[in-house]
Amino acid sequence: MRAWQIPRKVMNNAVEWRTSSLSAEDLFAGLSLILIAVFAISLYAIMMKIMKRQDKEIVGYRFLISAGCSDLLLLFNYGIWPGLTILFKSEIIPQSWRTWQQLYLDWAWFSMVSHYSVVSWSRWMAIRKPLNFRNQKRKTSYSLCALCYLVALILVLSTHFQSWYVTFYYEPSSYGMLAENFPLYLSGGQSALFLAIHIAAILPPIVFYGWSITLLYRRRATMLLVHQHSVQNTIETRLLMPCLINVVTFIIGQVLITVGTGEGKWAGYTVMVLFAANSALNPFLLLICSKTLRKQVLDLLGVAKIATFDKLETSTVYRNIHAVNKDYCSSKLVGPESGSRRFLSLPTFRSKEDLRSSGTPV
């Protein structure tokens, strides 16, 4: 939603600023953006590595991996890239490349926005139709994710070469981005188009997450096996929360940008931080809300060793369902690549009907 980023107002002393040495403010702005992005990218990479190892069994990880790829692009676009332009006091690319740069930036942004609908649908499916969701093929999951990138590409190609389209570019002296023709941006329809796209993008997540929460509430009210279902609902809710909070954060960020962050270079810096934080927040939310991922990250970093031979992990989040002696249960020995072993065991269901009545959080 770049319509409300920074008014078209280039600093009068921009040329002088480019030829002067870096000030303390320049160093703070540039380095802080880079550090935020690098830290989030590093953490995201660790978590995506863990999720990739288990995506054959944990279907929900496939959608989070794809959404993570788009977040990595945005962390580079709104963290590392603007930080480097500030530190080098240069736009870095030739002015003639601005159009193609804008096309790439918008493609990466709308790819991320498109994932909100797909991820929210996956959470709803995990709760509404857990058996079908757990047995979903990897090809199907990743094909749905690929549609997000394809739809974003079609969108930017259909708009970027119109006469009313205004290009934004990195202006290091403004600590952010500026428009080549901001009045045209507001009056030509581009800002209204972007607003409509973002409103349309957040409607499906609101519906799916609201529906999912309603299903969890009804299931808790009508549960038959109190302990088992209570634990399961808690896990489902915790794994539902990261995506729900991310959507709320996205909406708040867009409202702040729409209302305005002021003028001047620190307004531009604030906008870059908001865009980067929108993606940087996701790995932290997953760590906070997912005990399983948190333990595995700590284990991978050597902070805590959790994989032991005799420790059983009982949760329905790990594996697809296999029928064993007419009881729907599953148990798998995992972790041989790390030299440790751990059994992942699922609760036993007497019938498919019992299985359908219990959701899966992935």
Q: Nearest CA to 190 among 256, 106, 131? A: 106
Sorted by where each begins, the domain ranges of the chain are 2-300, 312-356
- Which range scores top for mean pLDDT: 45-49, 143-147, 218-222, 357-361? 143-147
Residues 122-149: pLDDT tens digits? 989 988 888 888 899 999 999 999 999 9
Residues 142-172: pLDDT tens digits? 999 999 999 999 999 999 999 999 999 999 9
Q: Which pLDDT score is estimated for 305?
A: 56
Q: Which pLDDT score is estimated for 45?
A: 93
Q: What are phi and psi of 120, to 5 degrees?
A: -65, -40
Residues 292-320: pLDDT tens digits? 888 888 888 877 654 443 343 433 433 44
Burial of 23 (0-12, 13-18, 19+ CB in 10 A): exposed
Q: Nearest CA to 358 among 181, 223, 201? A: 223
Q: Nearest CA to 64 among 101, 140, 116, 110? A: 116
For the ranges 60-69, 111-120, 226-235, which has the lowest average pLDDT?
Answer: 226-235
Q: Which pLDDT score is estimated for 169?
A: 92
Mean pLDDT of the region 179-205: 88
Q: Does domain 2-300 have CATH number 1.20.1070.10?
A: yes
d(CA 358, CA 229): 7
The predicted model scores a pTM of 0.77
